Chains A and B, each alone.
Chain A
Amino acid sequence: MKRVGVFLCWCGSNIAAHVDLDRVQEMSEDLGNVVHVQQNKYMCSEPGQETVRKAIQRHGLDRVVIAACSPRMHERTFRRTVEGAGLNPYLLEIANVREHCSWVHPDKETGTPVAIDLVRTAVAKAVQDVPLQSSYAGVEKRALVIGGGIAGIQAALDIAGSGYEVVLVEREPTIGGRMAQLDKTFPTLDCSSCILTPKMVEVSQDPRIRLLTYAEVESLAGYVGNFEARIRLKARSVDFVKCTGCGDCWNKCPYRTPGEFDLGLGKRKAIFIPFPQAIPSKPTIDRDTCAYFQKNGKCQVCKKFCQAGAIDFEQTDEILEEKFGAVVVATGFDLWDHARYGEYGAGEHPDVISSLELERLLSASGPSDGHLKRPSDGREPKRVVFIQCVGSRDEAKGVGYCSKICCMYTAKHAIMLKEKIPDSQAFVFYIDVRTPGKNYEEFYRRATVEAGAQYIRGRVSRIYLRGKQLVVVGEDTLLGQKVEVEADLVVLASAVVSRADAPQVAQKLGFSYDNYGFFTEAHPKLAPVETNTAGIFLAGACQGPKDIPETVAQAGAAAAKVVRLFAKDKLETEPMVARVDPEHCAGCQWCRPICPYQAIGMETLTERPGGRRVTRRVARVNTSLCHGCGACSVACRSGAMNLLGFSNEQLWAEVEALCL
């Protein structure tokens, strides 16, 4: 026998005018388990709450039902109220007699029976309520940032700047990412390196940031506040403690290979730093190119010239196991491979290049020292055709979405072209020019008016060679004419796509990704930097195409979320979570794939039925990961899985009470 108190709120006249509360009271008093019924004009007011608290104490109530507005409005308020009277806050139920009754029914005649049903149902549920407790877990106040591009750099700096330790993991031998490869940035034409490298240096000098380059996260276990990461430090064959970064080794190394940083347009040595401002500024040996590794210990020129004795051919990969409280994923993007467009030459024309390759050709630190020369013969291109939406907005061959940044960087390229080669002419084939952003439209106007770029609305159907001359054939859809442009260089604005291994990364870290491989935010509007795994946040283009300011803003937001987490010493977990009854669990694991949070694991139980020792596997819910959706409780075949707060017993009681 429970002792339920029912409190009927008038909400001024909001409820009282459409529901005969005296009749509801009479009915309620007749319900089993109900020992006290009371009305109040405004139950949510302080005096109203006080009457509830007093009644709990005076009548020894152990369950409370409040018939008032929507629980989405005041459930939290009333939980605190009953808690104030010494009752567990989850021994409270609310009957929504305002939004779901008095406001939608015209008079007492129609409203009252509905209210009676709702109160009776709430009482039935309350009788089944059980006290629930939050649990608490500690927080490891260190953040793991994966990816050392501008997103990861910004997130690391912001978290470290708030006083917390950060480990920044980058797969390449240097941080800097895509932004380091760019020449200028739109719409200000700031030199990309000039604004990025100070931040890179800041990362290397911040004592709270531990920088791990040439390293990859192999696995991530645990949950918010308590992640455990395994990080592989790839062997660089250089002892960083001894190395001074003097550069003798890479100057003397006799072996060259096309450099990744220059997208193969320039060469680097087998022992190298990817670009002059690389951080760390110490070299790495690429074992696939190095003669020592490829030709049985021959060469060793670097070792001979290294005065610090830092070359270590015997170095092996190292595994690091570290604990973290939160993770920021900032793994960046790739460009769509335009070789998949046969009509654009299938990647076979050396003078048909991607926009990122053009960045390298424009860059003063690039393979041509900033002199724009075309790859085939080193000639200065005079007529340059830019093609927009290569792969983007092309559901047939590429991706359906807009890559967002191409319109703007193409305008930048047109301006840069005119600046570098004043007697040049840019032609831009476009579908739409999209310039939403501060000073973006003005910048595009600058490309057309000042730099004189000729924008042609239409798609290119073919790029072909007439002898040695590249010819671009397209349609001008505004004129309704076929156009042919002879070009010295063609630049393709290839789609921004997710990293090829993005799905594996998402699976490894435990959150979801979309059809294109971009990481999925927890909510498109209200949780754009969170993932659906608590404690893992997203920054930058790994979540979708973004320009630099947006990336920096998102990285700052991700850092703020991390800092918010670290501001607490203990994390309170939601008490309304799934729970397994191990007695009934058959260990079928049907619940595990249905859980969107990977919150269900297995544990081994040891029992001694009749003196025999028996072990069996049963499901176990990690309450730190569970969000309380209840999907598992329906999937469970043996009824072992239940959802606290919306338990099988509670919902069953509600159905039965409603159908009386």
Chain B
Amino acid sequence: MPLAEVEPKIVAFFCNWCSYAGADLAGTSRIQYPPSVRIIRVPCSGRVNPRFILRAFQLGADGVLVAGCHPGDCHYSTGNYFSRRRLSLLRRFLAYLGIDERRFRVRWISASEGPRFAETVKEMTEELRQLGPAQKVAATSVD
């Protein structure tokens, strides 16, 4: 399969307190996962503006992954509740934009869930391989 040879690229937004630390834990535990994910550190999943996600898709990202603390565990007490609502709305909007919603995932990953993080990347990478590379959207800015 020629598709599988090109590694998909996942732009990931990870909250500093839980998910970024979870990804660090996968590292210190030496858990191997596909070299597809690139993590952008944010203080909180509630900091992730949907426009960042749309910009990534516009520029041809094969997938976008947002991860934050589990509901109830937010370092800032409520940030992930806002992102949960906001991003589930965004998911519905993606289809309207012609972006396959399977390319977009939101996961709650705690600082102790290194394996879960690696598993998420594996699953998502596999799915993106099946979907094939994403198309760059016309270069007009969404800003």
Contact = CB atoms under 8 A, between A and B. Distances in A.
Direct contact of A and B (CB under 8 A): yes
A646 B75 CA distance: 16
Given A72-B20, A104-B27, A655 B49 contact: no
Interface in B67-109: 75-79, 82, 86
Nearest to B40: A654
A655 B26 contact: no
Contacts of A98: 27
A528 interface: no
Nearest to A660: B59
Contact of A643 (B30, B43, B56): B43
A111 B59 CA distance: 23
A99 B77 CA distance: 27
A70 B43 contact: no
Determine which residue in B11, B24, B60, B61 has the highest number of CB atoms from chain A within 10 A of its CB, and name it.
B24
B47 A633 contact: yes
A363 interface: no
Q: Which secondary structure characterizes the binding site on chain A?
A: helix
A635 B48 CA distance: 10
Contact of A117 (B28, B38, B76): B38
Nearest to B41: A71
A103 B30 contact: yes
B27 A627 contact: no
Contacts of B28: 99, 103
Nearest to A656: B59
B46 interface: yes
B82 A655 contact: no
B64 to A, nearest CB: 9
A655 B43 contact: no
B38 A114 contact: yes
B116 interface: no
Contacts of B131: none
A99 B14 CA distance: 14
A631 B35 contact: no
Contact of B56 (A111, A532, A659): A659
Nearest to B13: A651
Interface in A92-118: 96, 98-101, 103-106, 110-111, 113-114, 117-118
B32 A106 contact: yes
A655 B40 contact: yes
Nearest to B42: A646
Contacts, number: 126
B92 to A, nearest CB: 18
B75 to A, nearest CB: 8
A553 interface: no
Determine which residue in B33, B40, B82 has the highest number of CB atoms from chain A within 10 A of its CB, and name it.
B40
B61 to A, nearest CB: 5
Contacts of B20: 70, 72
B118 A656 contact: no
Given A646-B42, A646-B43, A103 B27 contact: yes
B47 A72 contact: no
B124 interface: no
Interface in B2-20: 9, 11, 16, 20
B44 interface: yes
A523 B75 CA distance: 8
Give the interface size bracket for B toward A. Answer: 35 or more
Contact of A99 (B23, B40, B82): B23
A630 B27 contact: no
A96 B25 CA distance: 13
A243 interface: no
A655 B47 contact: no
Contact of B11 (A520, A532, A594, A655): A655
Nearest to B58: A659
Nearest to B27: A99
B55 A656 contact: yes
A648 interface: yes
A392 B48 CA distance: 41
Given A104-B30, A658-B61, A96 B39 contact: yes
A512 B40 contact: no
Nearest to A630: B47
A105 B30 CA distance: 8
B47 A118 contact: no
A104 B52 contact: no
A655 B55 contact: yes
B59 A659 contact: yes
Nearest to A631: B46
A72 B56 CA distance: 25
Contacts of A628: 43
A64 to B, nearest CB: 17
Contacts of B55: 652, 655-656, 659
A596 interface: yes
A635 B47 CA distance: 9
Contact of B43 (A629, A658, A660): A629
B32 A105 contact: yes
Contacts of A111: 35
Interface string A629-655: 111011100000001001010011011
A116 B26 CA distance: 20
B11 A629 contact: no
A403 interface: no
A121 interface: yes
A658 B11 contact: yes
Given A72-B20, A72-B24, A658-B56, A648 B49 contact: yes
Given A114-B35, A659-B11, A629 B61 contact: no
B60 A655 contact: no
Given A70-B24, A118-B38, A659-B60, A104 B47 contact: no
B80 to A, nearest CB: 10
A656 B52 CA distance: 9
Contacts of A118: 38
Given A648-B49, A659-B59, A659-B61, A631 B27 contact: no
A118 B39 CA distance: 8
Given A631-B44, A651-B52, A658-B61, A110 B35 contact: yes
Given A72-B16, A634-B47, 12 more contacts: A99-B27, A99-B28, A596-B77, A596-B78, A629-B43, A630-B46, A630-B79, A631-B82, A646-B42, A656-B59, A658-B61, A659-B9
21 contacts: A70-B20, A70-B27, A72-B20, A96-B39, A98-B27, A100-B39, A104-B30, A114-B35, A532-B77, A628-B43, A630-B43, A631-B44, A631-B47, A631-B82, A643-B47, A646-B41, A655-B40, A655-B56, A658-B9, A658-B40, A659-B11
Interface of A: 70-72, 96, 98-101, 103-106, 110-111, 113-114, 117-118, 121, 512, 520, 523, 532, 576, 594, 596, 627-631, 633-635, 643, 646, 648, 651-652, 654-656, 658-660
